[in-house]
A = this chain, B = another copy of it.
Amino acid sequence: MIEYRTLRIALLGAGSVGSQVAGLLLRHGEELATRVGARLELAGIAVRNLDSPRDVELPAELFTTDARELILGADIVIELMGGLEPAREYIALALSSGADVVTGNKALLAHHGPELFDLAEQVGAQLYYEAAVGGAIPIIRPLRDSLAGDRVDRILGIVNGTTNFVLDRMDTGGDDFDDALATATALGYAEADPSGDIDGYDAAQKAAILASLAFHTVVPLSAVYREGIASVTAADVESARKAGYVVKLLAICERVIDAETGVEGVSARVHPALVSRQHPLAAVRGANNAVFVEAQAAGSLMFYGAGAGGIETASAVLGDVVSAARRHVVGGPGVAESTSADLPVFDIGKVTTRYRVTLEVLDRPGVLAHIAGIFSDHGVSVEAVEQSASDGEGGGTATLVIGTHTATEADLSATAAALAAADAVVAVQSVLRIEGE
């Protein structure tokens, strides 16, 4: 019988992920010990309310409301309480005391990542966060380590399960947005207040984390452009399908060359986008997540799996716990987060993309020429126009679907604004970007 040293693990939070992490640590402790070379002892679980119901039955004596005391006696601290405070304060306390920290708190990392990574580096500890993006999908470690010798050009991520479920229902079932969201809520894929998912806040936090990691550059959450999916209509989805596209909420992180200065920078944005049905991301169904990475040497890679769920996300947390424990066993300081490239972070105006614009226009001679003129006045080249008589109640109107060539977002959005203001345009029905080409 081998005698192992013991590593003390403090768990903060016992929600859907935390309670599963505790359960796995207790059930698989022996197996993990032989993998790590140390016994992983769950020293305690700090919660706000000792009497809250838990998804997993756990020994009552593990629970405490004194997070600080628990943290100060731990080698590894797992933060799964969520929110900004006191999570930030507790992580800082843990790192300062020399403990490694494992977190799945994307909001905290998007807001306070740089200060926490700096603190970890100063004390030689390490902050792990595989569970913060893509649930069970290993994406942080591949970006951080496997692609560390390569140059990532672009990431296209389906990183929010709720919105992918809603858009998939709209695509496959023909539902409108409200019905699809109601189904998502009924099935537990959407929260009671779904705005954090639907409006793209969750995806934007993940975009900030992915962009910072992939480009070795601090990309603050405030620099992430964000549009949600609430304005996507059944008609948009149907029209996209006919044209060979599927609508997905994408988190897009990419290198961008400033057309005016030639300077290379990075950008991060979240918005609904048209994706070709031939693209691997088009096949990501239901509440699944996938991250598609384009790197200069590696080419195209995709990482696919469950983007949420208590037990699934617990797998990612435990992977980090094992990494932290192995590091404790072999010794030596943690590896600092690399922000060495420090590239300029551009706003969305400098991004180049393509638009697919659907307009309701007055059905009279000269309108098409007028509309085409608005595009060319803004330096945007039209690739294709499709005109059909409107079947609405408007009478005397027609529907125009215009696809553009690649142009800067600034020119494209100015074009869209000018279209909205044009007399001949009754309504701008939708403006969707085409991505993944």
Contact = CB atoms under 8 A, between A and B. Distances in A.
A31 B152 CA distance: 13
Contacts of A28: 149, 151
B315 A150 contact: yes
Q: How many subunits of this chain does the assembly comprise? A: 2
B332 A301 contact: no
A97 interface: no
Interface in A111-151: 130, 136-138, 141-142, 145-151
B148 A297 contact: no
A127 to B, nearest CB: 15
A302 interface: yes
A216 interface: yes
Contacts of A183: none
A31 B341 contact: yes
A90 interface: no
Interface in A312-365: 312, 314-323, 326, 330-336, 338, 340-341
Contacts of A321: 149
Interface in A279-317: 280, 283, 295, 297-306, 309, 311-312, 314-317
The list of the 9 closest CB pairs from A to B, nearest first, reads A149-B318, A332-B332, A138-B146, A34-B340, A298-B315, A297-B315, A136-B298, A148-B322, A301-B305
Interface of A: 20, 24, 28, 31-32, 34-35, 37, 130, 136-138, 141-142, 145-151, 216, 280, 283, 295, 297-306, 309, 311-312, 314-323, 326, 330-336, 338, 340-341
